[in-house]
Structure 1
């Protein structure tokens, strides 16, 4: 039997916030990895299409590294020194403004 936290896998339900107010107040990462440049691990890199971005900051809130920051104009940007290309930002973006592309090295 597949279990997930003591429940059958079939009973497990995804947690989906109903509004932006239910998201955390700060990014998931508290900056612990600021001393570790993790960008060298990356195979795919996120690319932001500002024409699709609605400045909801969900990507910033869920980034597990301190790689996404908010610019003065309110749009987000990626600090590729810290981005390890996990794709969480692209997966969480409600408007699909972030796409993952293979990085050329």
Structure 2
């Protein structure tokens, strides 16, 4: 067995970038897409916390945004799902207490957006 080295005696290693999944876009193989009804959202951030892909961005709003019942929400608010990273697992819609998220087949969502 070789003798142990101190940290000063160790050979130089490799520098790795911080861990991130931003380089791995997974939205291309999604079957279901979350559709967000912003007017029903209570900005509780449960969907953000449960999303396994961190596909739901959060931003800060000092002015506030209108949500469920016309109530104004300030501070940390949820914004539209980043479909580049969403796999369509549906956890966000399942956990949403205000049911402002629904899962729609990808083809139906694309057809609806083409009609706009």
Q: TM-score normalised by the shorter chain: which range applies?
A: 0.5 to 0.7
Q: Which residue of 2 aligns with 1:68?
A: 56
Counterpart secondary structure, 1:68: coil
Q: Note the C-alpha offset of 1:38.
A: 0.4
Aligned residues: 75
TM-score where L is the length of structure 2: 0.59
Indicate the residue corresponding to 1:54 in structure 2.
42
2: CA distance, partners of 1:71 / 1:50: 14
TM-score of the aligned structures, taking structure 1 as reference length: 0.65
1:27-81 CA distances to partner (integer Å, 9 max, x unpaired)?
xxxx742221000110100011011100000000010002101134423320000
Structure of higher CA gyration radius: 2
Aligned to 2:80: 77
Which position in structure 2 is the counterpart of 1:7? none
- Structure 1: tracts of 5 or more residues without a match: 1-30
Runs of 4+ in 1 over 3 A off after TM superposition: none
